[in-house]
Amino acid sequence: MLTYFIRFKMGLIPAPKGVVGFERHLMLTVPVCLLVFGSCVWSGLYQAKRMQNFFWQFLDIVKACFVAALLVLTLLYYTQEVMYSRKLLVIFFPLLCVGLTSAHLGTMIFLHSLRKRGRNLRYCAIIGAGKRGQQLLRDLGKLPWLGMRCCYFIDSKVERAGSSIRGVPVYGPISRMPEILAEQPVDEIYLALSGDDALAAYPTLEKLQARGVTIRITPDWGNLTSTHTTVMPIGSQLLFCAADSPLGGYMVILKEVFDRLAALLLLVASFIPMLVIAVLVKITSDGPIFYKQVRVGMNQRQFNIYKFRTMRVDSDTNSSPKWTVLGDDRCTGLGRLLRKSSLDELPQLFNVLIGDMSLVGPRPERPVFVNQFSEEFKDYMLRHRVKSGITGWAQIHGYRGDTSLKKRIQYDLFYVRNWSFGIDIWILLLTPLHVFKGKNAY
């Protein structure tokens, strides 16, 4: 109805083929609604989305809208509705996207609100009351909007059966699971065991699966660290990757295109300031304008990073590699100012332009530090699953320069695990504010 009003009644777009009668438009509304409904079903929009975040649901909405627009175009062609032009579809498509997104988002907010108040819940039981089972219980408690409530644990350990953990009772042994489920039914069962304990539970789980009970298994990674977990089907087998790169498919292309276009625009915009800085570096101290140093980037590939020179040319000849600290006597007067304002980093836009770095990512380190830190911190090398950046999640939280390395790694790993295009934009927007503060920049 809104499409009809905008197209034919507002007078914003001329209608040289005439105005469609409202009654005729109403007659077409029914098949159009059916086509939209079919597109939503095809895209999986009406499947259970309790565990899925809104970003992936939005992609389903866009797919549904695109298919619906093509089907409506086909309908109009075969019904010979000559008064409808492509202009109508140009109006219809964005309105459909906005309408479906608003309805879907409103439904999500309503359901989340219900679940937080103890309604629209699904109930589960956790097999295994050990550390993994207890961690799963805590994780479910942190996400009340999921509406998943653990009713009880099931464990074969004699010392655990009959007790309670965080107010949740523990029943056992696992072999009695069918009886326990008959007395206290649940919607899903989570297996939080590994090794021989898990193998001993499988015969009982097979019986439950035959009854239609949903069973979910928490993978046992051992001492491996799971960052961005992916699943690869190989024939009848499923292969889990514990630490895959979060960048894949079209997201790689999106980030690459954005980085290089943005770097090019920033280089053009900062040409005059960079020229002034280059002249000042040259006339205030002996030595080259630029300073290059070997750093370790994505997939542990080494590259030369570029900066405006901020130290004396002989600063590294008589000492072992070390970080710059507050009041470092190796810095020139201009160099301290450039470091404080982070203007010495501007030449790294060339690194982004040629593909060595990204605008956003963990800061690259020298090979000697990478070797040292990888031995001290088990998860350190996971930082190299993505491209190094000029700015990053750790930097906008104040962890740069001579600050806690452990904290910096934690923030870098959070970025690696949770990467999205949106978080890159957020970091870029906050970076100027933190540069202005100049915290830990020396």
* 307-341 tens-digit pLDDT: 998 888 776 655 566 666 666 777 888 888 888 88
Tell me: pLDDT of 16 over 60. no
Task: State the average pLDDT for the chain.
Answer: 80
| DSSP-assigned letters across all residues of 243-292 | EE-S--THHHHHHHHHHHHHHHHHHHHTHHHHHHHHHHHHHHSSS-SEEE
In the chain, which residues fall in CATH 3.40.50.720?
122-220
Q: Give CB contacts under 8 A, 24+ apart, made by 10-19.
A: 13/87, 15/83, 17/82, 17/83, 17/85, 18/83, 19/83
**Angle, CA of 293, 297 and 301, to the nearest 5°:** 90
Q: Mind listing the pLDDT tens digit for each residue in 418-438?
A: 788 888 999 999 998 888 776
In this prediction the pTM is 0.55
Least confident span in 10-14, 37-41, 151-155, 196-200:
10-14
122-220 CATH choice from 3.40.50.720, 3.40.640.10, 1.25.40.340, 3.40.50.2000:
3.40.50.720
- pLDDT grade for 82, boundaries at 50, 70 and 90: very low
Q: Contact 83/17 with Cβ under 8 angstroms?
A: yes
